[in-house]
Structure 1
Amino acid sequence: MLGQHGRWYQPARFALLGLLACARLSAAETPPDAAAAQVRYSIEAGPLSGALIRYSQQSGQAIVFSDRLTRHLSTSPLIGRYRRDEALDALLADSGLDWALIDERIVAIYASECDTNDCDTPSETVSNNPVYVPGIEETYVYGSRLTGSRIRRNSYTGAAPVDVFRAPEIELSGAQSLGELLKFVPAVVGNSTSTAIANGGDGTASVTLRGLPASNTLILINGRRVANDGLAGESVDLNSIPPAAVERIEILKDSASAIYGSDAIAGVVNVIMKQDFRGLLAETFYGETSRGDLQTRTNTLQYGSGLPRGSVFLSASHYEQDPIFSRDRAVSRNADARALGGGDQRSSATPDARVTLPDGRTLIADGDGYRPAGPDDLFNFQADTTAVVPMERTSLYGNLSYDFTDQVTGLVEMTYLETDASADLAPTPVFTAFEQQPLNLAADNIYNDFGVEVSDIRRRLVELPQREQHNASEVMRLSTVLEGLHANWNWDVGYSWSRSEASETNTNLVNADRLRRALGPASGCLGLAIDGCVPVDLSGSAGSIGPEQVDYIRANGTVSGYSKLSTISMNVSNALLHLPAGRGDIAFGGEYRQETTSKRPDALLASTGTIGATNFEATSGTRKIAEFYAETALPLWRSQSGHQALYFDGAIRYSTYSDFGDSTNPKLGLRLQLGKDLLLRAGYATGFRAPSLNELYEGASEEQAFINDPCTQAPLAASLPGCNGQQADPSRNQFLTVRGGNPDLKPETSVSYSAGMVWSPSAADGLRLSLDLFQIDQDDVVASSAQFIVDQNARFGSFTDSVRRDDAGNLALVTATNINVGRRLVRGADLGLNYHLPRQPWGQLSFSGSATYLQEYLAQLDTTAPEINLAGTFRDEASEGLGGIPDWKWQLGLRWEHQRWHASSDLHHVAGMTEIVPGSNRRRQIDAWTVLDLQLSYTFDLLAGLRWSLGVDNALDEAAPLAASAFNDNIDGRTHELKGRYFYTRLSQRF
């Protein structure tokens, strides 16, 4: 490509577009027959500047254009064989720009009606239009800086696959949050969170590549780190990123610790925000399910404008989502799913007190006294729960760029965002026998009908209102970057600051200290007016707890916290032009970060004084990190024809942490280009994940964890040494568990391998196929597994200090602090398909597809434990599982556009999975699930810039399959969707 200096071409501006300029006098002559020759093009829809660059690369035709003219414009796909004039006319259609040849050698792009702000006195005139050409020199162009490299390159030439979702594709998905969008990406499996998780969720959203925890996937914004979720979170909350301001999302499905440092073991999700936007956009979105719930509203205003030496962009958006309740879907309305082929997960904490006497009898209060408890005396808590959480989000985003000189550009961006989410939970359950401090009903208590002390009473306090969990967050981000070009060196220096504050309030809990006194000896609780205590009738039937008793024991609990990250970074890159096999590149730089987190419970939660919420001690921590990296891309060999070539990619990063030491991680890659059709690639990398501040410094936390106790099954209780021949109560599935941090944790480490191919057959214009094999071997996995400890204790009699059982053999307490004990080995393959058919009179048709196959997912919780292959299985996070790990997950999309019409159709498929039904060793199959999404949009001619879209997700109303072992709603809400058929419409007007 050819470029020029002056007001038309600004090198710093081209740097922002991904152009690296190295001057060299003179240019090659264009062959005389170039204009008439047809060239095969494969240029996808997107920014016009990028399309013109790809035109130059694919045609071999030199081209010059001004960033000021193109940076706010986009273009349609160009697929097939075209002459030069046909290709350029198609790319520039409806842009207000035109093209011309200069000296029959160089294509120049110019404004059809040249504005005095964009043109100087011309030195040449082409087609009666002035074109400013003060001097021509050759400019090398090789793409943009993509995720996974500090070196600018084209999308498909890296040694590892990168998926890119651009703004038009995001719009076609209909998704109103990034968590919702990424949920269907085939490489995303496991325990990603979203507002579809009520009990156990907190209104945040995360992404889990390869089924590894969210802490193993690094989230970036514009290539820079941001603070994690405010409640000492392990990853960035995707709901804190305003989707309306997103230009594209790049997903690197490979380890990238050599490029970015910690957390990138599974890969990287890089969210690129909009910048080159011109005009005013007003947009409104509304959607709801075919059952009339999950009403969703989004209103957006955006403004962008060019400045004499820069640009400004502002975006404001407000989003509201109404709930779905568990009771409103057939699969989720009852925790007893036996009629559907599942298990019975109802609670033994019932509205009528369930009392176990010292003589072993278990009785149920029935209003007239007590009767023996039966197998159906259980409580369906799902009649009261929220399935999809209602949420509100308000976001403001802005950026400002300014060209200080032709060589130096500055960029400032700011984000402010607020979220509010609320979930309804069933009324508080009380299990008196399973609290850290005893809750015994004294023998002389005025409500004791048995005359003996009773330690085991289970009661669902329906006299209290339903519990409500309210989560709020406030996120602020600031980033400043100064970048430029000096003596052919691209450089940038940046400072970024981000802070995420969050709070969680749980209402209608029980004050454990007051309840303990209310159940105690009569002499210690004589009445509110006498000694400030009100006796509570916990052992009675539903309604026996009166308003005065409710007011005495009712409590709320609040926790608040923040995560803060400050970063200073510098990057430098240059081209190595005169290597024997062609052009190479080098980049290096450094980064300094400071991380801080704090999580503060109120006094009641901190003193383990509540029932119905998690009690825990305060958590706080800080650390400093310094990192240095170097990266290169070198041509090792090139054939005389230039059609075959071998390239080497290498990177290394050194990281030193103030709290655990240092780590050095290399990455190596090879790319073999075999003609224009076939690219082979392979890679090797080591990675690491520093233990989070929460994992290191978390205070002791108390919860009722879901654990499958082997001793509740009669055959196992009789044979396993840890059960001591006693069968534990089979009606229980939640057990008191205390977790905590460990400041002696080591980093998790990994070794990754990849090998693949990209095939673009010449016989099929516009077709591109890819296949990439991957393997991740991870050691020293940080785990806090109460389930593992209970299993090992029951089966081998180990962990005796961590497991406490009562005299009846029931689990009373499990202590599980964080330790480096685990190992994972993940193997599989990614497949990709893109096929853009040549444009026809009836329109442009395109296919796109991707799939991930997991050959095996071996998990080992301890070196003494056997490896378990999780591929094709489901185990709920509430039971300390890694969620749904289907062996196949794929999506296939069809796009059609013609003039002002656009249409899309997407199929999403998740293969079936096996699970173990709770309370048994029975295995069952979770059905495969396939949904169809459709969308149609039209841009009106009478009102220029007005666009109307109609869409339907899950058009065939495919119900989510039953997951018998799922705690939330009898489905795997992290993989499947409960909502069913969902209609939406979008109306946007651009001025």
Structure 2
Amino acid sequence: MQSSIVSKAVRLAMITSASAAALTAPAVWAEEEEVERIEVTGSRIKRADIEGASPVSVITAEQLQATGIVKVSDALQQLSAAQGGITTAVNNGGDGKLSVDLRGLGAKRTLILVNGRRFVNSGTGADNSVDLNNIPVSMVKRIEVLKDGASAVYGSDAIAGVINVITKNDFEGFEFSAQYGETTEGDGDEYELSATFGSNFDKGNVVVNVGYYNRGEVRQGDRSFSQCPLAENADGTYCAGSANSIGMGAFVNGSEGLAIGSDGNFFGYIGDTKVTDPNSEDPDATTYEIFDQAGTAIGFLSDDGVSAYEPWLQFEPGGDGSSSDKGYHPFTSADRYNYAAVSYLSTPAERANFSVNGTYEFNDDLRFISENSFVWRHSNQQMAPQPINYTLNNWTLPADYPYAQNYTFLPDGITAGTINPVTGEAVTGQDLLWPLRRMTEVGPRIFEQTVYTWRTVVGFEGTLADEWMWGVSYMAGRNDAKDVSHNYINMDRVVKSVTDNCEGVSPDGTGNSPDAPCINYFGEGSLTPDDVKYIAYTDQGTGFNQQEIIEAHIAGDAFELPAGAVGIAAGIEHRRESAGFQPDALTVAGLGSGNAQDPTSGRYDVSEAFVEFAIPVVADAGFIENFDVEAAVRYSDYSTFGNDTNYKIGATLRTAGGLMLRSVASTAFRAPTVSELFGGQSDSYENYADPCSNADANATVKANCIADGVTPGTPQQNQQTRAKVGGNPDLQAETADTFTVGLVYEPTFIENLSMTIDYYDIEIEDAISNVDVNTKVNVCYNDANGGVDGTGTFCSDIGRDAVGQIDGVIATLENVANIQTSGLDFNVAYNFDAAGLEWRVDYESTYLLEYDFTPYAGADPFDYVGQVFSSGGSYVEWKHSFNAAVRGDSWSFNYQMRYLEGLDRFEADPGNPKLGDSTDAVMYHDISGSYFINDYVTVTAGIDNLFDEEPPYVTNGIDGNTDTYTYDVLGSRWYVQTIVKF
């Protein structure tokens, strides 16, 4: 009885993916394989049964081919256990890298293996996870997905799970594949070519693979849902912005006054000193008073007698500012710049790969192994022209800046100044603060990455006494990247262009740049080609990741118990991780487009030892067919934070009738990466509210302020303060407790039917994160031991200057957060014969029960279940996948349905509801069909997103008005594939 169940489990898992209806791939057919002892992801001990104590899903090469998948990331991101990951649709913040995010815990908490060995972190330099671009589909034999923590077996990073890609190391023959496809809009073309050659010779095997992949771009302006940033009003959504609006303005003394306007589509600011509207029905309401060009107060911005917070005005082209008819109108989102028109919706990329794997057998007990791969990748993203403003770039326009003279909506003779809303007195000679402008003349920002990644493994494997299998290997991997950003703005030259040679601003003399022009930043198209040439530059950074591993292991049957042999595996490993990123020289100096940033450079070493046991406790005892226990322990000693030990205990209970219970409890950890430890620090400027500026603060806050020498109610002079962000060499490891329990049912009276349900629970402590400035300041001053010299939470990170103003906050990475998540995985798989045809159906779903993120100790947790973020990313509560396939003698047909339950926007304000605060459920349908022309040639065609489902609208969605991490943004697309084998 046991052997038939084992055979069925292997057949379903390895051939029809019974435990992983995991992806877009429906079941496909292959010849049944003889059951043998194999090493399954999650254990170093070879065994006959793929169904162990931990849930493992399997994706086969046949599935990938039958459904036209040409990127490993596409298959993995469609797992119901996955919550997002970086896709080709991530333009804003993307760098061409592709990843998978199991359980929504981040790609860095999922371990990626190739043939059971680690793969080097990869990307543009000092990266935290593996780039799946480096694993070509044409070399994949199968992908095993362990949905459980496994640090006791594999070490760091295996918190959410382990993905092990098994390559075609024993391939024989020749296979050529060509595929082309595009969207039904005629864009987003994608094609892939690959050739694989394998040969067995007298004492070994060699497999050679070459491939090329190319993907074209799709722009946000090419789709109706993303062609402009959407805003909302009573009638629905509307386009927020125009490509003709450069959004230029310059604010005068922001603490108490009126802004300047200009002769184009520009806006002004009415100052942030609030005064009470005497006509308001709300006696506590404050708002902003409006002044005409003569300096006369003309009223308050209000709505039916209730004061309205409307600090912005849009100045009309050619307006004189004397009235709303002739000079301005209340600023709305329609006056914004349309940054979406030139931004990518789907990013372009191309990739070339070459690999050679081989084995050589010296005798029956000793063989040499070698794995070698090289991947070249070029990718790019495109975004709107760079904005420059005070918040990002910390610059001002001098009071005598000549190009501002004709654009001030102030009394004659006052070229730049403010009017105090309380006294009505004009103040002259003020610099123009907070200038902002979209640099349309310079052109869109284009980001390019050129990345080279290589990996090599050499080693020996063998057997001892016909029972013990051993191996030693050396692995080295490295990637080098060049990260180029075009059409950036040299802010040092911007400052020179409004000071050094502008008449009336700065006298000629020492310190002036003789080649600096005086540039007019007011007005659309005011920058000349020479102006652009002077201020624009190309930013170039370089980075790398490098990994070296030497390991040795042994596994076999230690001794016999009445229920069977006790399996044991043990091993040692030493690993070195090095990484770095060198920003452009202008960035390091703080003269580029943003704040100064230091280079990243560092390395660490880790030595590890592990042992694992598989213990048969009961066998063939009536109703109980098997009861097995497995255990593992791994010790890790890091050169950075010290040591960590992780444990695992699991059990399986098989009964008559095809029922199996399984469970695993384990600890896991994630060591801080090079970038987290040694990441280049930089200054950021963040908004905050000083608790000491509130005269009505609670007693604790007042006491802490007084202890700091600050009188409660002291005005806060600046809205922002300097924050130190970046790496932290004092970081410790993240730790986790993981637990799974499940039921597998394979009824003996229905052949080839398998049903599983698994519960998982993961709790992470000391998660690496950072806390924003405003939170740190408020938590500190509400602590009984608060203040800059206090011992309260975050207080040591805050500094004040001599006059009591906060002058800096340390906001680097810390071991500060906790994450708690749990859920249920379901799977049903069934294959059968009917009407002379072979049928396969399988269903998979994941239900997210809990996802609580606690940003720091003592904080209230955030519940992320069913939430989507405007900045991108979501935690879908219910995800379903249904696959069906049928095969005849010379053809096959496949259908897949993917369902994502609706989401609620995390940032939603119940008091101010928005149209995109929730999304409807989305269902995608994919079909494909294959025709087997003969034994050598197969043609496959398919359509993904058959009914052209558009992504749902998410209010303030920063990329395409939706969540590009979760939804399909391309719409319906077709492909044709030809495979030739002989």
**Residue 504 of structure 1 is aligned with which of 462, 477, 483?**
483
Paired residue for 1:932? 925
CA distance 1:41–1:759, shift in 2 (3 Å): closer
**Residue 463 of structure 1 is aligned with which of 425, 438, 441?**
441
Q: Which amino acid aligns with 1:357?
A: V
1:198 aligns with 2:154: no
Maintained 8 Å contact 1:517/1:525: no
1:651 aligns with 2:651: no
Q: Which amino acid aligns with 1:675?
A: A
Maintained 8 Å contact 1:517/1:524: no
Q: Which amino acid aligns with 1:549?
A: D
Paired residue for 2:308? none
- The farther-off stretch of 206-215 and 840-849 is 840-849
Match of 2:928, SS? strand
Partner Cα separation in structure 1 for residue 620 and residue 759 of structure 2 = 27
How far 1:812 sits from its partner (Å)?
11
How far 1:532 sits from its partner (Å)?
1.6
Maintained 8 Å contact 1:525/1:534: no
Partner Cα separation in structure 2 for residue 821 and residue 983 of structure 1 = 47
Render the CA deviation track for 1:589-634: whole Å, top value 9, x for unaligned. Answer: 11111111111112111112112x6752101111111000000110
Give the aligned CA root-mean-square deviation in angstroms.
3.7
1:567 aligns with 2:552: no
Render the CA deviation track for 1:28-87: whole Å, top value 9, x for unaligned. Answer: xxxxxx9xx999956638989x99xxxxxxxxxxxxxxxxxxxxxxx9859xxxxxxxxx
The TM-score, its normalising length taken from structure 2, stands at 0.81
1:869 aligns with 2:863: yes
Maintained 8 Å contact 2:617/2:627: yes
Maintained 8 Å contact 2:827/2:844: yes
CA distance 1:728–1:394, shift in 2 (3 Å): farther
1:845 aligns with 2:839: yes
1:44 aligns with 2:11: yes
Maintained 8 Å contact 2:249/2:262: yes
Partner Cα separation in structure 2 for residue 956 and residue 378 of structure 1 = 34
**Residue 227 of structure 1 is aligned with which of 95, 120, 123?**
120
Match of 2:404, SS? coil
- The residue correspondences of 1:468-479 to structure 2 (distance < 5 A) are 468-479=446-457
Partner Cα separation in structure 2 for residue 441 and residue 349 of structure 1 = 23
**Residue 860 of structure 1 is aligned with which of 854, 865, 871?**
854
- The residue correspondences of 1:773-788 to structure 2 (distance < 5 A) are 773-786=759-772
Partner Cα separation in structure 2 for residue 609 and residue 918 of structure 1 = 37
Match of 1:382, SS? coil
Q: Which amino acid aligns with 2:157?
A: D
Partner Cα separation in structure 2 for residue 820 and residue 752 of structure 1 = 19
**Residue 572 of structure 2 is aligned with which of 571, 590, 594?**
590
Paired residue for 1:243? 137
1:818 aligns with 2:813: yes
CA distance 1:492–1:877, shift in 2 (3 Å): farther
Render the CA deviation track for 1:769-788: whole Å, top value 9, x for unaligned. Answer: 00111110110011024387
How far 1:555 sits from its partner (Å)?
1.3
Higher normalized contact order (CA 8 Å, seq sep 6+, divided by chain length):
2
1:635 aligns with 2:616: yes
How far 1:511 sits from its partner (Å)?
0.5
Partner Cα separation in structure 2 for residue 356 and residue 863 of structure 1 = 40
Match of 1:366, SS? coil
Q: Which amino acid aligns with 2:680?
A: G
Paired residue for 1:888? 878
1:366 aligns with 2:263: yes
Q: Which amino acid aligns with 2:662?
A: R
Partner Cα separation in structure 2 for residue 552 and residue 306 of structure 1 = 62
Q: Which amino acid aligns with 1:159?
A: A
**Residue 83 of structure 2 is aligned with which of 168, 181, 189?**
189
**Residue 55 of structure 2 is aligned with which of 161, 181, 185?**
161
Maintained 8 Å contact 2:388/2:436: yes
**Residue 747 of structure 1 is aligned with which of 723, 733, 737?**
733
Paired residue for 2:176? 282
Render the CA deviation track for 1:827-883: whole Å, top value 9, x for unaligned. Answer: 11111111111x3452110112211111010110011210121111112556xxxx2
Partner Cα separation in structure 2 for residue 815 and residue 38 of structure 1 = 59
Partner Cα separation in structure 1 for residue 898 and residue 28 of structure 2 = 25
Paired residue for 2:677? 696
How far 1:916 sits from its partner (Å)?
4.1
Maintained 8 Å contact 1:354/1:364: yes
How far 1:642 sits from its partner (Å)?
8.1
Paired residue for 2:273? none
The TM-score, its normalising length taken from structure 1, stands at 0.80
- The residue correspondences of 1:512-661 to structure 2 (distance < 5 A) are 512-520=491-499, 522=502, 524=506, 531-538=514-521, 540-576=522-558, 578-611=560-593, 615-641=596-622, 644-661=625-642
Match of 1:597, SS? strand
CA distance 1:349–1:536, shift in 2 (3 Å): farther
**Residue 351 of structure 1 is aligned with which of 246, 252, 271?**
246
Match of 1:171, SS? helix
Identity of aligned residues (%): 29
Q: Which amino acid aligns with 1:684?
A: A
Paired residue for 2:942? 951
Paired residue for 2:110? 217
Render the CA deviation track for 1:343-399: whole Å, top value 9, x for unaligned. Answer: 998799961421212252234423447755732232121112111110000001111
Maintained 8 Å contact 2:73/2:132: yes
Q: Which amino acid aligns with 1:584?
A: V
Partner Cα separation in structure 2 for residue 674 and residue 418 of structure 1 = 51
Maintained 8 Å contact 2:9/2:49: no
Q: Which amino acid aligns with 1:698?
A: G
Partner Cα separation in structure 2 for residue 934 and residue 656 of structure 1 = 50
**Residue 975 of structure 1 is aligned with which of 958, 962, 966?**
966
Partner Cα separation in structure 1 for residue 371 and residue 820 of structure 2 = 40
Partner Cα separation in structure 2 for residue 966 and residue 814 of structure 1 = 29
Render the CA deviation track for 1:103-145: whole Å, top value 9, x for unaligned. Answer: xxxxxx9xxxxxxxxxxxxxxxxxxxxxxxxxxxxxxx75311
CA distance 1:702–1:185, shift in 2 (3 Å): farther
1:406 aligns with 2:364: yes
Gaps of 5+ in 1: 2-33, 52-74, 79-89, 93-108, 110-140
Match of 2:636, SS? strand
Partner Cα separation in structure 2 for residue 894 and residue 932 of structure 1 = 12
Maintained 8 Å contact 1:364/1:370: no
Maintained 8 Å contact 1:335/1:345: yes
Match of 1:817, SS? coil
Match of 1:531, SS? coil
Q: Which amino acid aligns with 1:479?
A: V
Partner Cα separation in structure 2 for residue 38 and residue 736 of structure 1 = 64
Count of equivalent residues: 854
Gaps of 5+ in 2: 18-26, 265-317, 322-327, 406-414, 417-429, 706-711, 787-793
- The residue correspondences of 1:433-444 to structure 2 (distance < 5 A) are 433-435=391-393, 438-444=394-400
- The residue correspondences of 1:117-136 to structure 2 (distance < 5 A) are none
Maintained 8 Å contact 1:937/1:949: yes
Partner Cα separation in structure 1 for residue 98 and residue 775 of structure 2 = 29
Q: Which amino acid aligns with 1:515?
A: V
Paired residue for 1:381? 339
Paired residue for 1:489? 468
Q: Which amino acid aligns with 2:609?
A: F
Match of 2:811, SS? strand
Q: Which amino acid aligns with 2:514?
A: D
Q: Which amino acid aligns with 2:824?
A: A
Paired residue for 2:750? 764
Maintained 8 Å contact 1:311/1:400: yes
